[in-house]
Amino acid sequence: MKRCLLFAALLLTMRPAVAQPKESLAGSGASPHSGLALFQGIYSVPAAPSTLKIAISDEHLLIQGLRPGASVALLGAAHERAYYMTRVVSRREILTDDDRDGAIEYKPSSGIAFQSIWIIMDIATGETRVVTPAGYNPIEMTQQGAGRGNAVNITGNIFDIGRDHADIIVVRPNEGAWALPVREGGVKDAPVPAIGRSAVPLVKLSPLRPDFGSAPPALKNGDAVAIVDAVRMQYWVTSIARGAN
């Protein structure tokens, strides 16, 4: 009997020790996938969590998740019914949370058309959202169009856009927003574009608010760009990668 007890005690002492966690992931507030995120972080930096939330109805846009007093740039395109015809409408505006409640209600006088695209850009962060009425699916400008080349090329300070009708907004976080309508490819004192395209120097964009000053001479990391073709109801958005050369 004594031999059996001694043998059992010996087995217990030979078992490998199992380290007990000092604190659970749930209790610490860390993600249960934080180890995986750390490994993946070697290759890419996860995007910041989204804060902008936009609700859309027949009458208005409700923009939420803003910091109190924040401003956003709005780029809109719509086909609005007018008696027996359809009006092509584009909008470039600055909206501000004047009552500092973290939300903005935007109510255009004609309401929200079913065929409409709304691009909202946070002036502080460059965060961009594209929303449309339920059931309407606009077309994103493709990178390649038959016989037209890239939808958008950005070379130096020139936007080469594969449309002759477009509206553009550039947001530089914490600095400002600048916009320009392009009609039939023409921009004064700009390079002559190919047929069916537009050439837009960045410096030709106008400030959406006087305190933003003149447009910057060139894009830089973190800038957000939105383009919409209100005739074809197509859009294009991008953000200049942070940390890119």
Query: To which residue do tokens 């169009």 refer?
Result: 145
For the stretch 83-104, pLDDT in tens is: 888 899 999 999 999 999 999 9
Both tokens of 120, joined, read 């909202």
Any bridge partners for residue 90, and if so which?
77
Q: The pTM is what?
A: 0.75
At 237 the pLDDT is 93
| DSSP per residue, 130-155 | EE--TT--PEEPPSEETTTEESEEEE
Query: Measured in whole angstroms, how far is the alpha carbon of residue 2 from the centre of its chain?
Result: 75
At 185 the pLDDT is 59
User: What is the edge-to-edge ordering of all strands in the sheet holding 85-96?
Assistant: 85-96, 71-82, 115-122, 128-131
At 115 the pLDDT is 95
C-beta separation of 199 from 149 below 8 A: no
Both tokens of 160, joined, read 């080469």
At 149 the pLDDT is 62
At 182 the pLDDT is 86
Residues in the chain: 245
Residue spans of the chain under pLDDT 50: 1-48, 145-146, 243-245
At 42 the pLDDT is 24
